[in-house]
């Protein structure tokens, strides 16, 4: 009898097949925090992620490094820093890489809006 260790659609893949599959961005009601849900291809070798949020002036307002993640389905909270009022449009860049980040193996760029109070 076979006992599956993974759901049939979530079989770990070799590192050259790993991609960012989905990023969902949801601002919290306090507007200074942002919930990030990231899914990558299930992997055999653990990848690194760099998640960076820029404001409309292209200034970094939040950054997160994830080193050799153990999970393909991840959730994080980013804090928007060094702004008086966080309302506005932001760009979130997510890079997936292994040995080197230049260039990343995969990159996903999404925009999101923090509403006015």
Is residue 49 one of the residues assigned to a domain?
yes
Is residue 8 one of the residues assigned to a domain?
no
CA atoms of 43 and 30, how far apart (whole Å):
35
Three state DSSP letters for 3-68: CCCCCCCCCCECHHHCCEEEEEEEECCCCCEEEEEEEECCECCCCEEEEEEECCCCCEEEEEEECC
Mean pLDDT of the chain: 94
Is residue 7 one of the residues assigned to a domain?
no
- Domain at 30, CATH number: 2.60.40.10
pLDDT per residue as tens digits for the range 24-33 = 999 999 999 9
Is residue 5 one of the residues assigned to a domain?
no
Is residue 65 one of the residues assigned to a domain?
yes
Asked if 98 and 74 count as a contact pair (C-beta separation under 8 A), the reply is: no
Identify the domain containing residue 85 by its residue range.
15-114
CA atoms of 32 and 83, how far apart (whole Å):
9
Rounded to two decimals, what is the model's pTM? 0.90
Q: How many domains does the chain have?
A: 1
Is residue 2 one of the residues assigned to a domain?
no
pLDDT per residue as tens digits for the range 21-61 = 999 999 999 999 999 999 999 999 999 999 999 999 999 99
pLDDT per residue as tens digits for the range 65-113 = 999 999 999 999 999 999 999 999 999 999 999 998 899 999 999 999 9
Is residue 4 one of the residues assigned to a domain?
no
Is residue 80 one of the residues assigned to a domain?
yes
Asked if 74 and 68 count as a contact pair (C-beta separation under 8 A), the reply is: no
Torsion of CA 72, 59, 27, 49, to 10 degrees: 0
pLDDT at 114 over 90: yes
């Amino acid at each position: 009898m076979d006992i599956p260790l993974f759901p049939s659609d979530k079989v770990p893949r070799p590192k050259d097949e790993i991609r960012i599959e989905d990023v969902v961005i949801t601002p919290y009601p306090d507007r200074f925090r942002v919930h990030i849900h990231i899914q990558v291809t299930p992997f055999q070798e653990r990848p690194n992620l760099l998640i960076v949020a820029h404001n409309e002036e292209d200034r970094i307002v939040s950054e997160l490094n994830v080193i050799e993640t153990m999970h393909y389905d991840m959730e994080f909270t980013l804090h928007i820093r060094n702004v008086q009022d966080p309302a506005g449009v932001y760009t979130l860049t997510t890079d997936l890489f292994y040995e080197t980040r230049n260039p990343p193996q995969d990159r996903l760029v999404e925009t999101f809006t923090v509403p006015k109070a």
